[in-house]
Each structure stands twice: as structure tokens, then as C-alpha cells.
A and B are shown apart, each in its own frame.
Chain A
Amino acid sequence: MSASHTDHSAVLRTEQVTKIYRSGEVAVHALRGVDFTLRPHEVVALLGASGSGKSTLLNILGGLDRPTSGHVHFRDEDLTGLDDDDLTEFRRAHVGFVFQFYNLVPSLTARENVALVTEVADDPMRPEEALEQVGLSARLDHFPSELSGGEQQRVSIARAIAKRPEILLCDEPTGALDSKTGIAVLEALIEVNRNLGTATALITHNVEIRRIADRVVYMADGRITHEERNAARVAPAEVSW
């Protein structure tokens, strides 16, 4: 179990977060008292089997969902009491998301998908700059249907980081990709983390990928079972699966 003492350097911190989904008579305990911390500049890998609560935790961290009990802090602010509109503002200003299925708008080109976010952000980078960071300068004006899966995922990373968020939350970003493409995507993530210092939480099924993180958090049955710190991060290119 991780330490429950208060860590004021944390960007995101949860205290005894539980999440119960009710569906008719059945109550599903997705999270059972999770204490989790995400610090600036670090990359944390969340590992666990399907249904272990990783995605639920990530959604709660990103303000997409609310805990049933417990607290979530963004720096010194308690997110738990915020209403939908305030959570929207929180996501808008501070969080970047990357999902397994990219979630790009099919009717917008790569550049436009990124511009979608930069138009509403306070101090964004230019869309071209964000796409350059993920190595897509040559595919600016392509629609999603004209891009490979890996390229689409890199567009979604560019879109997530273009507003220079403090937090980047990635839910199986390589889940739908082959290993070669997956490595390119991970490299883009690590590059962004290095350049911008974005605190990054990364869900993965793939135990190999844990090696690119600073810290690895293992989850099972809605709880954090243990945590380990890597002595040194391994470059994505050296990971294989």
C-alpha cells in the first residue's frame, strides 16, 4: 500500500477514494479506498488486469467521473465537491487525455483536431508545433481516415499536449497498435514529458511498458496492491512485446 501521508508537492492526489457502480440490485465496487499520488515531471504506469479499477481511477483523476467517497485533490484544491461545469473547467485548463481508440473528430484534419483544443486553451502551442513534437509535421492536413492507427494516436497525443497541460492521462494508448507503432507512440509521450515536464499517468496491460515509467502502480480488485520505483527509465525503443 502507498503511504497515506499528505504530499504537498503532488499535482494530483487521492485519499481513500471508492467508487461503487449500481446497476439495479447489483453494486459493483470498482475502487475500494485508493490513495494515489501523481507528482510533477514523473511518469507513472498503472498496471493491472481487466476490471482492476485502473480506468475508473484514471477517469476520476481526470474529472470525468466522481468518487462515491474519499477525496481528489488537484494541488491544494479539492475536486470532490465540484459540479459538472467546474470539472469541465478543470479538464479544459489542466488535463490532457489520450485514449485507446484515439477519439479524433473524423471531419477534422490532424491540424484541425489539435486546433480544436488550442482554440479554447489559455496559452497553447501552435497546432503545428504540437504535431511536430509527435513527429507528424508531414501529415498536418490529413483526415483521420487517411492516417494509420499509430498516426491517429500521435495526433491525439498532440491534441492532448497542445494546451501544455500539467497532467496527461493515457488509457492504454498502445492497446490498439502493433509493437512498432506502439513504440513510436510511447516515444512521443516520453518526449513530451521530457520537454514539458507534464506529469503523466499511463494505463497499460503490457508489463513490458512499465519499464519506461518512473514508478509502477499495481492494481487488483479495486485496490492498489503495491508500487515499485524503477531505478532508471528505459527508452521505449528498448522495450519490446
Chain B
Amino acid sequence: MRMLDRKLLRDLRHIWVQCFAISLVLGCGIMVLILSSGTQRSLEATRTAYYEHNRFADVFASLTRAPRSLLPEIARIDGVARTEGRVVFTAMIDLEHKPEPASALVISLPPGGEPVLNVPLVRQGRMPRPDHLDEVAVSEAFAEANGLRPGDRFQAVLNGQMRPLAIAGVVISPEYIYTVGSGAMEPDDENFGILWMNERAAASAMDLSGAFNDLTLTLAHGADERAVIAEVDRILAPYGGTGAYGRDRQPSNVFIEGELKQLGTMAAVLPPIFLVVSSVLVNMVLGRLVALDRGQIGLFKALGYRNRSIALHYSKMTVAIGIAGVLLGWAVGWWLGHGLTEIYTRYFRFPSLFYRPGTAPIAISGVLGMTAAVLGGLRAVRAATRLAPAVAMSPAAPPVYRRGLLDRLGGLLGLRQTTMMILRSLVRWPGRAAVTLFGVGGSVAVLVASFFTFDAVDLIIEELFERANLQDATITLAGPVNASAELDARALPGVLSAEGLYAAPVRLVNGTRSRLVSVQARSPDARLSRLLDAEGGTVRIGETGLALTEGLAEALAVRPGETLRVDLLSAPRGSWEMPVSAVIRQSLGQGAYMNRDAFFRLIGQAPQVNMIHLAIDRNDLGALQARVQETPAIARFTLWSDIRRQFEDTLDESLVTMTVIFAALGMLITIGVVYNAARIQLAERAYELASLRVLGFRRREVSYVLVAEQMLLTLVAVPVGWLVGYGFCTLMADGFSTEVVTIPVVVTRRTYAVAALIVILTALASTLVVGRRLDRIDIVSALKQKE
């Protein structure tokens, strides 16, 4: 081994803790990159394989009723590969162990048994036999949540008629990876599931023999989706088509896209912080080493070593730090990525686990990591090569201090001399102070951004459940009925008040932009469910015009006062031009709202309702549920307390895990920066600090010089971190928001305080660890060496 390399190994052994701290910070950046982008790629691959293998459709449409003879016409549309007409409807499910009814979406299976598209995958048992009309397959999530197995039987209300059904098998489907019932925010597996039933049984229950009310199709390679959708809409319009849509509006697919997008945001926002911080740390530590090696560098040059060899020697140290960080990041990122992919696979119930982070993230992260480390060392390496041998071998000139503003300040405030030492050091080495400021500020910012998710979710929950939706329960009716049903609902046991509304499918069009949504016709005096403005106040729906949710208004590029075309996709169908009257705040879901009287006047019908919000006395809940179950006109009964519990449960697990991980990462930056800064400071000031001990300064007083400088910088960095953190929150809210989910940018004082507190305590612990080295300083020998 060459002597310089031997020296390198010994140097590394001497400052391995410092180097390791940098490698850790660097590794975090690499890890997050591999974790998020690797998981993203793996999930994409898994989903694509699932979609292909189980023939997930490209276009979806609902309609009222069309004869099966229409299907060949649709199949002939240019660009359509395969079509399938189905009977789809909602049923109430009565499970023995449950007091309240559940609901299910029933999907018909073709007479041959296996569907052409959206093929369910059997997990237990088998698919229903074509000749067994009472057999069904049940979605796995629903089966698991309710302890259902093949062979179990239960009662269902199909179109108002009670029918006994038997479970043939438990299945999953690419169409319902994520199952949310209409009107729900989150999957509620206990209360909502999917049933697959023979077409004959389904059609006879719905009086749809020889007809279909749901269409799915796949596109030929290179087909124009928009053109196909337009043609399908044209064909289905006379049959009550509510507008076809592609995968980009298919709820389950949209949700998964959102999750993938979030992983992408994580990969984009976090790693750069870690890479830059580690780069700066390398600069700091190597700079110190070169300063310390000054005499030796002079000697090497005097002995005839070329500048190149010396540059290479010090660069090797940065390479070592880089390699350690990259390998660490790869290993932990790979391992965590596998775990995360596994969690997602289970959560989404993907049929198989593909963990394929791909070579690109590995290569990119490796290059980025090594670049960060080597670039960080560049300044110090250059300083080493620039030293002239004669100059290098004589001791460095003592630092020059100058009088300035600080002296007057010190006198004015009556600062102690130890405090003056700190302040002068900060002013003398502003670059070093800036490094600590930058790192600690970054740490605070990462923590603010991770705790911000709690704030955002708290606000969403508060708006959703405490300000917008004050109803205790919602009844979804099997079909529209006269508005007087509101009065009937009031007569149900335990009902304190009832508010009916009418939801209808519409297409909103503004130029080339259009969206399929549901418009809710509601009373302006509604007290249970309310609309909120941007500030969270209640909005009274106006006499004219449409109120749109923020995300929808943005997607359609309209503002209040501007006009939209509204195509009503249910009877009596029709198109109207209508102004946007208000934009309302709604974090989850998108929709349009309209004054009930105005709506029915417009379509020329008597007011109807198909949903009723209820305020109830919980003491009578049992009686109410019993009555609901006996009422065929009620398709679904939802308790808002269930929705809220489900919502909070789902969020709690993933949020807490994420927050703990990010908080740990944020703390790591502080540890890396403050520990290194304090070590360097201790090394450079050992002589000075030992002198203080000789003069009779107590340990505490001497550690003060070391600790207070780092803590002062930390305190200054906190507000900087708050500001940057707010910026991160904006980026994250933007990255996590989709058209249907708007993450509000709201950071509470609690978040700022907790982030600051964690960083301050971490910084304090890191300096105190270094401070303990002061106890081990041999005062006498420290005095003997002239720096």
C-alpha cells in the first residue's frame, strides 16, 4: 500500500465518527430517493401487470337501460377493441352479526361465467356457476372485514326484494383496487363491498333482461380515447348515458395515481436537502483536515509529491465518505422500499409483489451521492494544492480579528468575555456559521414539513366533520322520489331533522375542458350539510348559478361570474348555459351545487330527492336501523361517525409512520451538522479552552463557549427553518393535491414549536456529547503545543 493511502486510512480511523455522521446524512438522501422512486416504479409495474393480466378496461360508462343489441354498434366504433355490457346496481346487505345494513355494488357476470374485461381474480373458493343463480363472489376486503368465507350465506335486498345469497368465492378485481362507496371519502370495507352475480339473476332483479346499464371497453392500440368517448356518449345518450370516462376518471385508478404521485413528490422534495447538507459537511470537515495537515502537505511537496497526488489523496477521503453514504442509502432504501412496496401491495390487495426499483434510481442516486461528496471536498482539495511548500511548513498565521460594531455592542450589553469569544468567532468565520445555520435551518424545515401533514389533516377533518357535514347519517334512496320523502324521513324513529337533496350526473363544459361530476340540488336553508367559503365560513347557495369546489373550478378554468355549459346526463337530459356563482372550499372530492328550486324550475320538473341527511338521537339508532333495513326504497344508510372513524384510522397509521421517519431524518441533519461543527470548533480551540481551564474556569464555564456558540446558531436558524419549512409545506401540499383532493396549506403554532423544540434539544445533545470531550483534554499537554 502506498504511504499516502496508509495515511488516509489512519486519518479516516481518527475522524471516523465525523465522516460517518456525514455518510449518514448523505445516505438519508439516497435512501429517500431509492425508497420513494423505487417503490413508485415497483407499484407501477405491479399495477400495469395486474391491469394487463386481468384486462382492466380503458373506458367506462353508466346508463339507464339499453338493449344488448346496441353492443355490436359500440364495438364497431373506430378504436374500440373489446366491449362488455353489464348490469350494475347497489344492494343492501343484511349480515347476521351486524345491526346496521351494509351496502354493496352488484356487478353482473356474463352467461359464460368469466367476464371479458375487468376479470376478477379468485382468492378463495371459485366464481359463481352460471346455473347457480343464488351464488355470488364477494370482494376480498369486504369478506375479510366481515369474516365471510365461501359457503357462507346472507340476505340481500335487490331492487326492493329480499333474496338469500350464497358465497361461492372471494375475489379481487383491478376495477376495485380501491373501493369507495358513493358518498364516502375512504374505503369502509365493513360497510361497503362488491358482489359479482350471474347476469340472469342480476338482470331479473333489476328488470334488465336482454339489456345492460353499464358499459366497459378497451381501446385498440393507438386509438383516440376522446373520440371514442364522444362516440359512445352519442350512442348512449338516448339510453340515459351519464357520460363515458377514461381511466383518468376511474375512481380506483385515480386514487392509485394519487399515491404514486405522492411518492414522486417525496423523491423530489427531500433528497436535495440531504445531498446539499452532506456536501457542505464534507467541505467543513475536509477543510479542517487540510488546515490540520498543513505542515505535512508542505512536507509532501518538499519530498516531491505532485499536486495531483495530493489532490487525489484528499479527494479519496470524500470518495470514501460518498461510497459509505451511497451504499448505506442503497441498502436501507432497498430494504425499506421492499417493506413499503409490500405494505402497499397488501393495502391495495395486488395479486403479486413485484419489487423492481429499477436501475435508473440506483444509478442516478449513486451519481448524485458521489457528486455531492466530491464537490463538497473540492474547495479544501484546491486549498491543499495551492499551498506553497515553504509556506505550508511554517505555522499558519494567527487569525486576525478587527474591532467593529460588535465591540460597542458587547460593551453596551455588558457581555462577558466568554460571550465575546463566541461572537467574534462567528464574525471571524461567517462561512462556518452559515453552514450550521443552513443545516439546522434545513432540519427545522424538514420537521415543519412533516408535522404539517397533521395540521392539514386536522383542518380537513374539522372542516369535513365539524363545519361542512353536521348530519349524523345519510340515506341514499334507490331512486329519485318526490321531495315529500323528507317528511317521511322525519317520521322515522329517532330522527330529529331531515334535509333532502337531489344528486344528478352532469357534464360541465368550458371550451375544450370538461368534467363529469354530480350536481347537488339543495335547499339554501340547509343546516345539516353546509358549503364553506375559502375562509371556512358558511356559504348560502344563491338563487342562480352553480357553486363549484376549488379543484373543479381550477380544472375547468372558470371563476365566479363566468359561464359554463351544463349537460344534464339523467332524465330529462338537456343542456343549459349557467354562471358560476361561487367557488367553495372542499378538501375531499369535487362537485357542483345548485339551488334546489332553481334546478327543478330549470329542468321543468317537480322537486325530487334521492339522498336525505338526518340528524338523529343516537339512543334510537337501533330502531332506526331496523326500520331502514325493512324499507326497500333505501339503498344505503351511512353513519357519519363511521366515516370519520374510518377516515381517522386510515390516516393515523400511515401518517404516524411517515412522520416518525421524517422526524428522524430531520434530527439526523442536526446531529450531522452540529456534531461536526462542535468537533471542529473543539479541535481548533482546544488550546484556548485549555487555557481557560488553567486560569481557573470551571468545566461548565468552558463548555459554555463551545455549547453556546452552537446553540446561538441553532436559535438563529430556527426562524429561518420555519420560513423554508413553510415553503416546503406549499410544495408538498401542491405535490400531494390532486383534482379531487385539495391539501390546505396550514401550519399551526404547535408544529412550529414542536419542530423548533426537537431541533434545539437535538442540537444541545449533539454539542454536549462533544462537550464531554473537554473533560478528557489534558490541560498540561494542551498548553505545551503551540498551535
Contact = CB atoms under 8 A, between A and B. Distances in A.
B696 A91 contact: yes
Contacts of A64: 694, 779-780
A143 B696 contact: no
Nearest to B416: A119
A116 interface: yes
A89 interface: yes
Given A108-B420, A108-B421, A120-B701, A144 B696 contact: no
Given A107-B399, A143-B400, A89 B417 contact: no
A107 B691 CA distance: 13
Interface stretch (A4-12, A94-102, A200-208, A219-227): A94-102
A152 to B, nearest CB: 10
Contacts of B418: 116
A101 B786 contact: yes
B691 A103 contact: yes
Nearest to B418: A116
A54 interface: no
Given A88-B696, A91-B694, A97-B695, A141 B403 contact: yes
Interface extent on A, as a size class? 35 or more
A91 B693 CA distance: 9
A59 interface: yes
Contacts of B693: 88
Interface in B679-715: 687-688, 691-699, 701
A117 B701 CA distance: 12
B783 A103 contact: yes
Contact of A107 (B425, B699, B701, B780): B425
B401 A115 contact: no
B688 A106 contact: yes
A105 B691 contact: yes
B695 A119 contact: no
A120 B696 contact: yes
B695 A107 contact: no
Contacts of B779: 64
Contacts of A84: 699
A159 interface: yes
A107 B421 contact: yes
Contact of B783 (A99, A141, A144): A99
A105 B699 contact: no
B696 A145 contact: no
A65 interface: yes
Q: Which of B418, B699, B779 has the most CB of A within 10 A?
A: B779
A159 B417 CA distance: 13
Contacts of B701: 120
B691 A88 contact: no
Contact of A116 (B403, B687, B695): B695
A107 B689 CA distance: 12
A64 B783 CA distance: 11
Contacts of B697: 88, 92, 120
B424 A107 contact: yes
Interface of B: 398-403, 407, 416-418, 420-421, 424-425, 428, 687-688, 691-699, 701, 779-780, 783, 786
Which 3 interchain pairs have the tightest Cβ spacing? A92-B696, A107-B424, A91-B696
7 contacts: A88-B693, A90-B696, A93-B696, A103-B783, A106-B399, A107-B424, A119-B416
